[in-house]
Amino acid sequence: MGDLVIGARSGAGEPEGAGGRTARSAESAEPSGSVEDTAAQSAENQSGGTDDVPAAAEDEEGSAETPSGERRPRSFWKELPILIGIALILALVIKTFFVQAFSIPSESMQNTLQVGDRVLVDKLTPWFGAEPERGEVVVFHDPGGWLNDEPAQQSNNSFVRGLQDVLSFVGLMPSANEKDLIKRVIAVGGDTVECEGEGPVKVNGIALDEPYIFPGNTPCGTKQFGPVHVPEGRIWVMGDHRADSLDSRYHMDQPGGGTVPVGDVVGRAFVVAWPLDRWATLPVPATFDQKGLAAAEPFVPPAAGTLGAVGLLPLVRRVRRRFDS
């Protein structure tokens, strides 16, 4: 609200002086017609002024209720559907391009993730050409045959089921229909991964130190493997609960040899958002920063059509590792 300056006018006349005399002499110099007009107006006011008073009062009341140039505010109930619609559209855009919530249905990632945890998954950086990196916890679609025996978790109540479908569509609730998995990336395209006996897991011949493994488990779990060469454009994934995770080790007889196509990856889980007492980030463990692991990184030629994406890749990787420090 702007500053309001109210001027007060006293009933006392102007002091006699040069200014006062000049004003009066100027008034006396006006044409006599103004005097006649003034007299005519006073006569009209005396004759019909009483009829104009109610109209003036009504005008004042009307102007007080609806000032000129202003519109009456809309009713809250009329604006509520519009606000809800805008909120749903924003939620849908965020879920589609930026962040999506997922629920943890099994114990395969204990103790990093518990059953019922809600994680937020970054879906933005893959749009800039970033691919999954070793050590990241990622959500991916079933590459085929991994979840054939697990039914979708849906409520028996039709109303609750419909509400869940709507909320999951806009990203406000994890979907019960989509068959997605969550695991840790151990190796990427071009790597060789193996695990013998009780471990450790080796990537390109470098042993991993894995403090995130479920207590009492061995790095190989109950199934040793390898050496396995991971094809380009695919990743090798394992659960942190090695004795209770049907991960890449158990699907080596399927197309891809247990690896997951990068195109099936939804995004990286970067934070546990719910329940609040378990809020935590999901950084890349330090063991994946060993120099020897990066020896098999493929060279990406600077093709004309990908120059922009390659130029943005360092920035994207810095953004992805914001939560790792």
The residues assigned a catalytic role are: 108, 183
Q: CA torsion 39→41→46→48, rounded to 10°?
A: 150
State how far the Cα of 164 lies from the Cα of 246, in Å rounded to an integer.
27
**What is the per-residue DSSP string for 93-105?**
HHHHHTEEEEE--
State how far the Cα of 3 lies from the Cα of 262, in Å rounded to an integer.
62
- Alpha carbon of residue 259 to chain centroid: 30
State how far the Cα of 296 lies from the Cα of 313, in Å rounded to an integer.
18
State how far the Cα of 190 lies from the Cα of 205, in Å rounded to an integer.
13
Helix (H) or strand (E) holding 266: strand 265-274
